[in-house]
Amino acid sequence: MLDVAVQTEPGWPDLDWDAIGTRAAAAAVGQTPYGYLATSDAAIEVAVRLTDDAEVHQLNAQYRQKDKPTNVLSFPMIEPDLIESLTQNSDDGEVILGDIILAHGVCAREAEEKGFTVEQHATHLIVHGVLHLLGYDHQGDSEAEAMESMERAALAILGIPDPYLICED
């Protein structure tokens, strides 16, 4: 089963972020070959931190050598080649998949630019982050297309419009 815990810092909308994070994580996992993780007996733990741009800026500089805030950071705790055997290698039935951290200011600006609510965009970023925790990336065109396709499918399940749709005027 997925166990998603969300820690919310001041500035984020007053919403049930634990429920939002759990739905987003389940939708993301469900688009991968690892869909069984959502219903396994093991507790698959994901931590989500909703914080401010300054904290994400610091983490981005420290871990990615990028001196600016970004919308989402993902810190996987499991190597991608070990994910398939994840539930078999847990001594206590709990596995920490990883951490996801979102920057409020960046998220709010991007949401406004896309015509989305902060909740919708944050949900998308959690889906995106969970896919990173599962080993997916968007470095090359084919990887980006595959990851975006999974994101679109997960967001459709959640009733969120396609964030990659390009509108022609």
Find out whether 136 and 163 touch, Cβ atoms under 8 Å: no
Q: Does 153 have pLDDT greater than 70?
A: yes
Residue 93 token pair: 């039935």
Averaged pLDDT of the chain: 91
Contact 11, 52 (CB under 8 A): yes
Q: Give residue for tokens 């396709």.
A: 149
What are 90-137's pLDDT values in tens digits?
A: 556 788 899 999 999 999 999 999 999 999 999 999 999 999 999 998
User: Would the pLDDT of 68 be above 50?
Assistant: yes
Helix, strand, or coil (residue 87): helix
At residue 83, does pLDDT exceed 80? no
